[in-house]
Amino acid sequence: MATLIKGGRLVTGVDSYSADVLVEGESISAVGRDLDAPDGAEVVDAAGLLVLPGVIDPHVHVDLELKGHRSSDFTSTSRSAALGGVTTFITYITPAPGQTLVEAAEQRKLQGRGRSHVDFGLHASLVRWSDREDDEVPQMIEAGIPSFKMYTTYGDAGLMSTDEQIYHALLLVSQHGGLVEVHCENDWIIESKIRKLTEQGHLRPADHGASRPGYAEGEAVAAVVRAAYEAGAPVYIVHTSSGESVQVLAEADDVGLEVYAEVCPHHLLLDEQSLAGPEGQRYATCPPIRSGAHREELWEALEEGLIHTVATDHAEFTAEAKDEGGNDFRQLPMGVPGVGTSLPLMWEFGVRKGRITENQLVDRLCTQPAEIFGLCPRKGTLASGTDADIVLFDPDCAVAIDPAVTQGLADYSPYDGWEVSGWPVSTMLRGHWIVRDRELVGSHELGSFVHRKDVCQRPGHRAVEE
Ligand SMILES: [Zn+2]
């Protein structure tokens, strides 16, 4: 089985050029000018199209249970992902009380097996630190799960770790060559805000925004960065949403710390005013969407490279589930859909608006997620020998976003009605077409668990020296 993609313009994280791509079996076998099609190969005319590596979304929630509601499962999440040009996502395992990480990982892999249109990896959540055994960390890394999620908040849900626990995890995980990622929001600031808002009866979705100020995030990012400095370990900050956090990232960068950061499209694009609207609850997520001043700092940090990746924190609930908690944000299942719209939105509002280049787009959505999370050299770029995860992106394909386009679980999108001028029209996963002309053609049995190793392979980044 071979496919020759002819006459497209390749865009990688470093350059753009016209070339053909030959796919044989599950891999790219050649990239070059005027390649010949082997006998029996399918020849695809990509004139006028951009040829991109498949997007890697390192922050996706599936089957999340919140406030009595369940978010999109592997099949619906991966369907939306495939249609949006995402060929790999990384989701989470969160062990139940009394369960080991190994048990939880096996359970999660079974859940995804045969049910995903795209490849998926797993992050292990390090919760209930006192119940964890130190050897669980090397066991996870051995099993292809070298990244570990921690939280400075959500004490009520049993997810929170103290700064000291995070410091010990950073030491342990980095010793074994893994990476710790942290959801940073200062828990006591948020808790005291929520208490006050509850006393005042201010519990609308807009008040949810007010309960989690940008400085609560910046405060926690600073504490985690200090813990990483003390431990001499790399660290990854998920969903950076505030200007205060960007300031901390800049300081960490000045002194050469290995701090990686992620931003979500909703924090770059959505305004806090949406939370005050009639459907405000549908925009509610943690950390919350903020003001234009924060968004400006995030865009700059993304362009400058202080922020390394774009990920979606996809947590997709139906409008009905969101609306049920509309009068009291404490009852809301938090999260917004995003995996299916990340690439076209970042193309439109990043590249077309001149905020980032097309190479930065590929670097932040494909290459760096692969390098940071141990997927390279297999994924994240277009080169001979890599997995044939390929997106044909039509820069002149106008689309108005709505649920019929993204085909996820939710019957709404926070971007409903938004118009973009380009869209990923065809997508290939390991040599198999999964989307052709914006139609799903692949099977949900094709995607498989990706064994990851060697995190933090970003050239030029250096670990802290003792
Ligand atoms: Zn998340």
Ranges of H-type helices in 57-212? 74-83, 101-112, 136-142, 163-175, 187-200, 205-211
Same domain as 312, residue 163: yes
CATH number of the domain at 245, please: 3.20.20.140
Same domain as 294, residue 157: yes
Mean pLDDT in each 10-residue stretch from start to end of the chain (466 residues)? 96 97 98 97 98 98 95 97 98 92 96 97 91 88 97 91 95 96 97 97 95 98 98 97 98 96 98 96 97 98 97 97 94 97 98 98 98 96 97 98 95 96 98 98 94 82 39
Q: What is the pLDDT of residue 459?
A: 54
Could you tell me if residue 456 is inside a domain?
no
Distance from the Cα of residue 433 to its chain's centroid: 23
Same domain as 74, residue 49: no
Same domain as 317, residue 208: yes
- Give the separation between CA 302 and CA 320, rounded to whole angstroms: 34
pLDDT digit string, tens, across residues 12-44:
999 999 999 999 999 999 999 999 999 999 999
Could you tell me if residue 464 is inside a domain?
no
Distance 124 CA to ligand 1 centre (A): 13
pLDDT digit string, tens, across residues 325-336:
899 999 999 999
Distance 60 CA to ligand 1 centre (A): 7
Total domain count, the chain: 2
What pTM was computed for the model?
0.97
Same domain as 188, residue 277: yes
Q: What is the pLDDT of residue 461?
A: 47
CATH number of the domain at 9, please: 2.30.40.10
Same domain as 392, residue 350: no
Same domain as 184, residue 146: yes
Distance 286 CA to ligand 1 centre (A): 8
Distance 182 CA to ligand 1 centre (A): 10
Same domain as 183, residue 90: yes
Distance 322 CA to ligand 1 centre (A): 17
Distance 338 CA to ligand 1 centre (A): 11
Distance 170 CA to ligand 1 centre (A): 19
Same domain as 142, residue 182: yes
Distance 18 CA to ligand 1 centre (A): 37
Same domain as 412, residue 355: no
Task: Give the residue numbers spanning the domain of 158.
Answer: 55-372
Distance 364 CA to ligand 1 centre (A): 18
Burial class (CB in 10 A: 0-12, 13-18, 19+), 35: middle
Could you tell me if residue 446 is inside a domain?
no
What phi, psi does 169 have (nearest 5°)? -65, -40
Residue 151 CB partners (closer than 8 Å, separation 6+): 127, 159, 160, 161, 182, 183
| Residue matched to tokens 């797993």 | 122
